[in-house]
Amino acid sequence: MAETKNFKIPMYAVAFTVIFKLLFLLTHYIQEDAFITWRVAQNLMDYGVIGFNGNTKISASTTHLYVFVSYLFNLIFGKENFIEPLLIFNSILFTIGSLLLAHLVLKNPWHKAIFIFLIGILPPAIKISILGMEYGILFFLEMVLLYYGFKKEKKWVLIVLPVLILFTRIDTLIFLGIVFLVDIIWTKKIRWSYILGGILGISVSVAFNWFYFGEFVNNTIIAKKLLYDHHFTFAQNIQYFVLNYGNFWGMLKLPGDFNPFTIIILIFELLCFIYLIRQKEKRNYFLWMIFIFGWVKQLIFLSQKSLFDWYYWVPQILLFVPVLIFVLEQKVKRNLWLGSLIVFYIVPMLAFQTIHSIATGNGEWNYRRTIGLFLNTYEKDKNQWILLEPAGYVPYFSGLKSIDEVGLVDKQIQTEIIKDRKNYWINTVKNRKPKYLLSYNNLFEGKDAEYYKTHYKLLKEFRVKDHLKSDNKILEKIYILKPSGTDYNLYEKIRN
């Protein structure tokens, strides 16, 4: 009876953590790129095509599996009501993934319960659960692979899970590769079923891209590489790293180019990891997997100048795992260790994320969404085009066909970038003649001002400062403390 009760304690922690994090739904903080995936899913519903603009095929989303999951949620709940159920689903999957991770690295049920909750309220875990991205599913699938594939040694898991993981994101090849190498070194044997799973995963992902889209990798990867590619000297690379490393290992972004707080956390993570692997424990097998993966993933993406913070959410969590294990398993003054961790790190991180979510949710949902809603009412012809950046909230809520500056949702602009990188924006306007332009800049100033003045009129100005008010004085102080968003000018083509 006691064993059954103890067995349920981590499950209670899962339920409590999910319910606790649902409070963040009230902030309406949803990542811009989630709306790209959701529009692709709805495009599949409306046109039977995985695309973004009508019946044109394009891999505008970074994730194929999540597109199909989003498609199912749209079918079940409808376009107007699917978002909250999907976010709850993501949160549940992530938290179950943390339960499986707890089973891999801890024995005591109460330790597992505390681990699940504390992991679950770290900033990256909140963002994985609530921001609408594919990482809730991804984290769940990766932990299922480790727990049922490598701990329980289910051969079918070793075959099927790599396929699902790679179909979620192709860059998960890093995770699968690190797991493969650690497993060979640790066990001194080759799991042929896992190799088969890897081959099938790569084959399915590449074949799907090739036969459906006519490309080997997602268009999103090609577009970002094309626009953001820069040739740096060694000195510039070092400077770039120093400017940006603190955004990732420290779980929060701080202004400035030196973040001592990040260095402290980084050193503590390393010390805890070294302390744990010196013990003769079976779990070291999994600690090596997740810790090496966390480092390799971050270093690879930092080296490629990939500064989108969602790339680092899962590594941030996995690198912090040794810290929680170390603290939870202290035999002397454990309560002091745990209390100090909670008071001086977990609570400040949670407070920071809460303020960040409220402020950013205001900037995205209450501000940027307003632009899309305005256009949705103003322009009834949904076959009209808008040129803008980014391609999330505004295209989704306006329903207009869209050309984004990066080329994530429209390939033709990539041709303009290749031909003339400096002038690709104005060249796109001249060649495509979109009815609407949404720009950060005043287009009536600068070298191309005369063209814009001749062919376009300023329809409306959207300003962040106009959305920093609230009847709730606490919310208003947060909005003003951390204003989120960008000022925009909306232009409409003048009829000839």
Quick: pLDDT tens for 16-59.
999 999 999 999 999 999 999 999 999 999 999 999 999 999 99
How many whole angstroms separate alpha carbon 495 and alpha carbon 479? 39
pLDDT digits (tens, 9 = 90+) for 357-404: 999 999 999 999 999 999 999 999 999 999 999 888 999 999 999 999
293 contacts 179 by C-beta, under 8 angstroms: yes
* 154, pLDDT greater than 90: yes
Give the CA diameter of the chain: 81
Residue 274 pLDDT grade (very low, low, confident, very high; cuts 50, 70, 90):
very high
Integer CA distances (angstroms), 224 to 314, 403, 485, in order: 21, 14, 22
Taking residue 319's Cβ as centre, other Cβ atoms within 10 Å add up to: 26
The DSSP secondary structure of 434-478, one letter per residue, reads -SEEEESS-TTSSTTHHHHHHHEEEEEEE-GGGG---SSHHHHHH
Instruction: Please report, for the chain, the start and end positions of each structural domain, with discontinuous segments joined by +.
Output: 2-329, 359-493
138-147, 214-223, 248-257: least confident range:
248-257
User: Exposed (0-12), middle (13-18) or buried (19+): which is 4, by Cβ within 10 Å?
Assistant: exposed
Residue 438 region by backbone torsions, left for phi larger than 0, else alpha for psi between -120 and 50, else beta: beta
- For residue 438, the number of C-alpha atoms closer than 13 Å in the C-beta half-sphere is 27
Residue 1 pLDDT grade (very low, low, confident, very high; cuts 50, 70, 90):
very low
How many whole angstroms separate alpha carbon 413 and alpha carbon 483? 31
DSSP 149: I
Helix, strand or coil, per DSSP, at residue 387? strand
How many whole angstroms separate alpha carbon 432 and alpha carbon 427? 8
Tell me the average pLDDT across 421-448: 93
Tell me the average pLDDT across 178-189: 96
DSSP 495: P
Tokens, residue 16: 């409590």
How many whole angstroms separate alpha carbon 255 and alpha carbon 151? 42
Its sign, for the CA torsion 331, 332, 333, 338, is: negative
Integer CA distances (angstroms), 491 to 10, 387, 429, in order: 54, 10, 12
- For residue 365, the number of C-alpha atoms closer than 13 Å in the C-beta half-sphere is 17
Q: Which residues pair with 404 in a beta bridge?
A: 388
444 contacts 492 by C-beta, under 8 angstroms: no
Q: Which residues pair with 387 in a beta bridge?
A: 403, 437
Of 201, 109, 107, 123, nearest to 160 (Cα)? 201
The DSSP secondary structure of 11-75, one letter per residue, reads HHHHHHHHHHHGGGGGGT---HHHHHHHHHHHHHHHHSSSBSSTT-B---SS-HHHHHHHHHHHH
Q: Which residue has the tokens 């039977």?
A: 48
Q: pLDDT: is 288 or 243 the higher one?
A: 288
178 contacts 296 by C-beta, under 8 angstroms: yes
400 contacts 436 by C-beta, under 8 angstroms: yes
Length of the chain: 496
Cis peptide before 348 (omega within 30 of 0): no
25-29, 79-83, 235-239, 479-483: least confident range:
235-239
Can you count the helices (H) and strands (E) in the chain?
23, 5
Q: Round the average pLDDT of the chain to a whole number and report it.
A: 91
* pLDDT score, position 275: 95
Tokens, residue 478: 């947060």
* pLDDT score, position 39: 97
